[in-house]
Chains A and B, each alone.
Chain A
Amino acid sequence: MNPRRDPVAHAVLLLGAILFVVPLWLVLVGSTQDSAAIARGDLSVLPGHEGFSAYSRVLAGPVPRMLVISLGMALAIAIGKIIISVLSAFAVVFFRFPGRQLAFWLIFITLMLPVEVRIIPTYSVMSDLGLINTFTGLWLPLIASATATLLFRQVFVAIPDELVEAARMDGAGPLRFLWDIVLPVSGANIAALFVILFIYGWNQYLWPLLVATNPRLDTIVIGIVKMIAVETETDWSAVMATAMLALLPPVVVVVLMQRWFVTGLTEGEK
């Protein structure tokens, strides 16, 4: 049966799409409405009369700085995670050293410990290093990643031994081999992982909340929460405008990287 003609499949797809789109739509129209009306519960499903005034309101405030902080943090986390996990996976896959298996299992075990579990010791370490309330403190403890290491390990293990040997006979040392062969060959995987890790970094909430109490280091996610926290007079259309703005960078990353990701896939051998 041709799946394109299957009405059930279509219905499910449509339902899924609506479930995803409706909240976004509400936020979008909410950002164009009168704050007081939203606070009363009169959230219309049609765009309001305020136009984009809420946007100019929030853009005049601390939101641009928050976006920059979030962007910096998400990029640092994504790039840092990729660098660290590529290097550790490279070591685990291509070098025979005593304790290799142990190193691998140690990395593997840390998968079982979510950030929340080790957040107190991490905080204490950051505090000893004097990194509380610094930008470095925002991203540094988050760049070790067992998941990414495991993923790259799988990618590297799939590189044929002959390719490794050919490079050895061509005279490529380990770093040269990493740079010239391994990285280009795993380009598509790096791109895919970058997207995932960027969004992970962008959405960080608990850690930035703990480590940076200085409002100048507020990320956009924390910024939104703080805006709502002022119970008495929440400027709802501003909150929604900020939420829309907070959505943009991840969307841009997904769209841009997806292209690269697809070329990466089709460029691969076979």
Chain B
Amino acid sequence: MAMLELVGLRKSFGTTEVLRQIDLSLTSGEMLVIVGASGCGKSTLLRMVAGLETPSAGRILLEGRDITSVDPSARDIAMVFQNYALYPHMTVFDNMAYGLRIRGLSREDIARRVDVAASLLGLSELLGRKPRQLSGGQRQRVAMGRAIVREPKLFLFDEPLSNLDATLRVRTRAEIRRLQRRLGVTSLYVTHDQVEAMTLGDRLLVLHQGRPAQLATPMEVFDHPADTYVAGFIGAPAMNFLPAILTESGSAAKLEAGPLLRFIDGRRDRPEGTALTIGVRPEHIRIDPEGVPLRIDLVEPLGSETLVHGRLAALGEAAVVLRLGGRAPEGDILTVAFPPAEIHVFDAETGLRLS
């Protein structure tokens, strides 16, 4: 049975449509990550589920109960805010206990729940401190603790890692994932960071200008992006795009002045001469003596790998990034090839994937 269901959810502010038609269903224990650039409507979506915004149309169901117009506090949903939103004048204990006190739990119950959550998060020593005496990572954990003690049906995360430094972010990311698995709470997680999206989500919802661009598992999104937006958004460095046209009655793409790329996964059902966008990920471009010449203009050594930025003179100076294992090659010119098995074919006009 679906834990959370969003049916035809829409939101407009005045005449601006922020979200158009979101349909979504989460199974129990699933972690769904909503990812997109800023302004794509992902936070609005989360806030509607939380009850902090009212949808313009559509319904929200939690375990089959329609909660569209239920007060946020009565939804059995807990939220971790981007800036943690800890009550500055309360101790860590009180911050976690506040919601439980309002719900009228007994003193012993509150103490027990807070203790469990605190030891789970390594906060037991800090219960008497005020938020300003805590580091960013500790505050973040208190915010998580406040959500955990509620024992909600659904967790909402609104970019909870964006205020942490890089090292801490990686560590906390893994912690959140472990915790979520262990507690088995269905979760919605909003982020603009594609690495967080890939690592945390059981499934991803990529939002683009208020529309769901793709809803699938992270690897599915990575391997078969639904359109050029998703293809460019997921994966770093971003996918390279090259203009081409469809030839050979739909079974190959002709780059402007380069090699013919024969599709190995069948014909594309479009008229010959259709303008295409060919996508190749930086790590899939191969060095090949038979390939097209690439003029190198920047090499970024990352230690375990090297990023090479260059331009393809033959293809109208198209900018291309390569990711090579090991060190950068000598010289200013590389010859590169695009393995047919690794190319993504998109309609140049609509940006949609052709398969």
A positions within 8 Å CB-CB of B:
160, 162-163, 165-172, 176, 180-181, 184-185, 187, 267-270
Q: Which among A169, A181, A267, A270 is the interface contact of B87 at CB below 8 angstroms?
A: A181
> Given the interface contacts A184-B89, A268-B88, does A169 sit within 8 Å of B132 by beta carbon?
no
- The CA of A172 and the CA of B102, in the complex, are separated in Å by 7
| Cβ proximity bits B160-190 to A, threshold 8 Å, 1 near / 0 not | 0000000000000000000000000000000
Q: Which residues of A contact B132 (CB under 8 A)?
A: 268-270
With contacts A168-B52, A169-B72 known, is A163 near B99, CB below 8 A?
A: no
A269 partner, pick from B50, B82, B88, beta carbons under 8 A: B88
Considering only residues 84-100 of chain B, those with a C-beta below 8 Å from chain A are 84-89, 98-99
Give which listed residue, B84, B88, B103, contacts A171 with CB less than 8 A.
B103
Q: Is the CB of B81 within 8 A of A165?
A: yes
Of A166, A167, A168, A180, chain B has the most CB atoms within 10 Å of the CB of: A166
Known contacts A162-B83, A162-B85; 4 further A-B pairs (Cβ under 8 A): A160-B85, A166-B86, A166-B87, A169-B51
**Quick check: B81 and A162 within 8 Å, CB to CB?**
yes
In the complex, the 3 A-B pairs of residues with the closest C-beta atoms, listed nearest first: A171-B73, A170-B99, A269-B88
Q: Count chain B residues whose beta carbon lies closer than 8 angstroms to a beta carbon of A.
A: 26
Chain A residue contacts of B72, Cβ below 8 A: 165, 168-169
| Contact assessment for A166 and B73 in the assembled complex, using a CB-CB cutoff below 8 Å | no
Bound form: Cα–Cα A166–B132 in Å: 17
Partner of B89, one of A169, A170, A171, A185: A185
Task: List the A residue with the shortest CB-CB distance to B99.
Answer: A170
Complexed CA–CA distance, A93 and B248 (Å)? 67
Q: Are A169 and B73 in contact (CB under 8 A)?
A: yes
Which single residue of chain B is at the shortest CB-CB distance from A163? Answer: B85
Given A172-B102, A176-B102, A270-B132, does the pair A165, B89 have CB atoms closer than 8 Å? no
Q: Provide the bound-state CA to CA distance between A163 and B79, in Å.
A: 12
Q: How far is the CA of A168 from the CA of B81 in the complex (A)?
A: 13
CA distance A172 to B131 in the complex (A): 20
Is B110 part of the contact surface with A, judged by Cβ < 8 Å? no
Q: 26 A-B residue contacts at CB 8 Å?
A: A160-B85, A162-B82, A162-B83, A165-B52, A165-B79, A166-B86, A167-B87, A168-B52, A169-B50, A169-B52, A169-B73, A169-B78, A171-B74, A171-B99, A172-B98, A172-B102, A180-B87, A180-B98, A181-B87, A184-B89, A185-B88, A185-B89, A187-B89, A268-B132, A269-B88, A270-B132
